Chains A and B, each alone.
Chain A
Amino acid sequence: MQLQSMYQEIILDHYRNPHGRGLREPFEAEVHHVNPTCGDEVTLRVHLDGDTLADVSYEGMGCSISQASVSAMYELVVGRSVPEALETGEHFMTLMQSKGDASVAEKLEDELEDAIAFAGVSKYPARIKCALMSWMALKDASARALAATTPTGGDEA
């Protein structure tokens, strides 16, 4: 059975006991993202302190991969600056595009922490978007939060 390569114990742990789950105040931006082919959903809030992600809070429903991914992401990005977090998101995207290439996972192992467990998902094209949904939501929410908190960053005059 190949399933264990995708459903690592770390993933199932995050799914059963999600970290940082629940929507919290304060926040500067809230986004709702869906995976339209299957109905996975996440509502995600970002609270900034300067350009640091002081909190990322979320509610969601969906498959184990999508829900475990947002939990692992929470652990990885809170307390980091937005550019750092988005760079990590880019690296997570690289991992998802690796088609199971172990050398890619090896290089990213230290940076991605628990999220490296999603390497096995990259062999299943239909599930990659489940794993990426929360990272897309974070990118969207961070951009909106920065626009809302940076005096010169928004259009509102």
Chain B
Amino acid sequence: MTQTVSRPGAGAQQVPLPLDVEAIRADFPILSRTVRDGKRLVYLDSGATSQKPLSVLDAERDFYLTCNAAPHRGAHQLAEEATARYEAARATIGAFIGAPAEEVVFTRNSTEAINLVAYALSNAATAKEEQFRRYAVGQGDEIVVTEMEHHANLVPWQQLCERTGATLRWLGLTDDGRLDLSDLATVVNERTRLVAVTQQSNILGTINPLGEISARAREVGALLLVDGAQSVPHQPVDVTTLGADFLVFSGHKMLGPTGVGVLWGRYEVLDALPPFLTGGSMIEVVRMEGSTFMPPPQRFEAGVPMTAQVIGLAAAVEYLQQLGMDRVQGHEEALTAYALAKLAEIPGVTVIGPPDTVARGGAVSFTVEGIHPHDVGQVLDDLGVEVRVGHHCAWPVVRRYGVPATTRATFYVHTGYDDIDALTDAVREAQRFFGVGQGEVS
């Protein structure tokens, strides 16, 4: 278990923040509403879903107001315009991660993107087309995950193994909330077909050393899938240097709309995968006896796509690019350092995860001695501080650290030091309310 470093008197320092929080807050109307009888909304749950700036809402509305039609169908002017907007958005979103447009597949969210890959790998085993069998997973093969994964990057792989007879293996965690890579060379071996790992833990905040994992995956010829749901929104990510074959992320966690996510894949790999969902717009020729399929990305986008959401996500990407992802990352690092120092000043508070900002993002999970996280969250909510409580869809992680659940605060571009002060004041209030803390436990 990670211990709280007690630094009484060290003092939390407010270094100047890279982003202009007040100006940014003006772009997010929801932040000016109040909650629980007039309390200022202190939104510290961006890790679950982010709030949306006006430019994203405007982009979606503008699409519906001016050129709503089903893209890639029909020859009328609206359909042409909708297709152009949809494909321009694909190029914008691809450029954000250093990828060409044809390597960007739109899904509902990260969860669906991971399922797409997992089902493609089992469909490959039974594909009648030789070209789709290259990455088939079957008996004797191994899939590697880590103990740190969100359920979305764990359960689909468990299910793939159950469907195919492959074996699931995993890398464990160290006491200070990092991946234990001491057995990397044995866990990832010549039987490994795919390694699936998160770039940043949604519960611990840990940023993982992908280079080392990627090198080992390459060595044994395994594919590498990176879960970027908590990294792409918060730090620069470039697929040309990532060393991965797949990267997944969700629009709604990066200022974009719900209902759109991204699967990026190296073209050569995508091109060798059979489809997951089938139907309209992913086909080449359909006969009653059988069908052939379009090349990527269309092969993986069956049905009329979530056009307005994709356009909204492109607007979110442009908003983040204007801020600059380096500055977004620096902003959150300063906030995280401040939050860790402030929480360390409260007796009875234990941070679960790395105790400093080295290779660590802005997700801070903690427990308060003598108060269940649900009850902590309830007091925080009463004071307008909105955090996540529970196991954060990463049940093996809380089990690993011997706690039933945690309270988690996550930061984003509109978060300021005042939000973190509100958080720590509310934690102290929870201790007062339940009569614990300051060394006294009831």
Contact = CB atoms under 8 A, between A and B. Distances in A.
Interface of A: 1-3, 6-7, 12, 16, 37-41, 61-66, 124, 127, 130
Interface of B: 36-37, 372-375, 378-379, 382, 389-391, 395, 398, 404-405, 433-434, 442
Most buried by A among B373, B378, B390: B378
Most buried by A among B375, B389, B404, B442: B375
A17 to B, nearest CB: 11
Given A16-B442, A127-B374, A38 B390 contact: yes
Contacts of B374: 38, 40, 62-66, 127, 130
A61 B399 CA distance: 13
Contact of A3 (B382, B404, B442): B382
B404 A2 contact: no
Given A2-B37, A39-B398, A127 B391 contact: no
B404 to A, nearest CB: 5
Contact of A6 (B378, B390, B405): B378
Nearest to A67: B372
Most buried by A among B374, B398, B404: B374
B391 A3 contact: no
B372 A63 contact: yes
Contact of B404 (A12, A62, A65, A127): A62
8 contacts: A2-B36, A37-B390, A38-B391, A39-B395, A40-B374, A41-B404, A62-B372, A64-B374
A145 B37 CA distance: 47
Contact of A38 (B37, B405, B433, B442): B405
A127 B375 CA distance: 10
A16 B371 CA distance: 11
B375 A63 contact: yes
3 shortest A-B CB distances, which residue pairs? A63-B374, A63-B372, A38-B390
Contact of A39 (B37, B390, B442): B390
Contacts of A7: 375, 378, 433
Contacts of B382: 1-3
Contacts of A1: 382
Nearest to B430: A3
A124 B378 contact: yes
A42 to B, nearest CB: 12
A8 to B, nearest CB: 13
Contacts of A65: 374-375
Contacts of A127: 374, 378
Contacts of A124: 378
Given A38-B405, A39-B404, A3 B395 contact: no
A38 B434 CA distance: 20
B34 to A, nearest CB: 14
Given A2-B37, A38-B389, A64 B375 contact: yes
Nearest to B382: A3
Nearest to A1: B382
A38 B382 CA distance: 19
B12 to A, nearest CB: 26
Nearest to A2: B382
A64 B372 contact: yes
Contacts of B433: 3, 7
A156 B425 CA distance: 59
A3 B430 CA distance: 10
A38 to B, nearest CB: 4
A1 B36 CA distance: 9
A16 to B, nearest CB: 7
Nearest to B429: A1
B391 A39 contact: yes
A127 B442 CA distance: 23
Given A38-B374, A39-B405, 5 more contacts: A2-B37, A3-B379, A12-B434, A62-B404, A127-B378
A66 B405 CA distance: 14
A46 B404 CA distance: 25
A3 B404 CA distance: 23
Contacts of A62: 372, 374, 404
A66 to B, nearest CB: 8
B57 to A, nearest CB: 26
A3 B434 CA distance: 11
Contacts of A6: 378
A65 B389 CA distance: 15
Contacts of A66: 374
Given A16-B442, A38-B405, A3 B372 contact: no
A88 B398 CA distance: 35
A61 B404 contact: yes
Contacts of B434: 12, 64
Contacts of A16: 442
B378 A3 contact: yes
Nearest to A37: B390
Contacts of B379: 3
Contacts of B389: 38
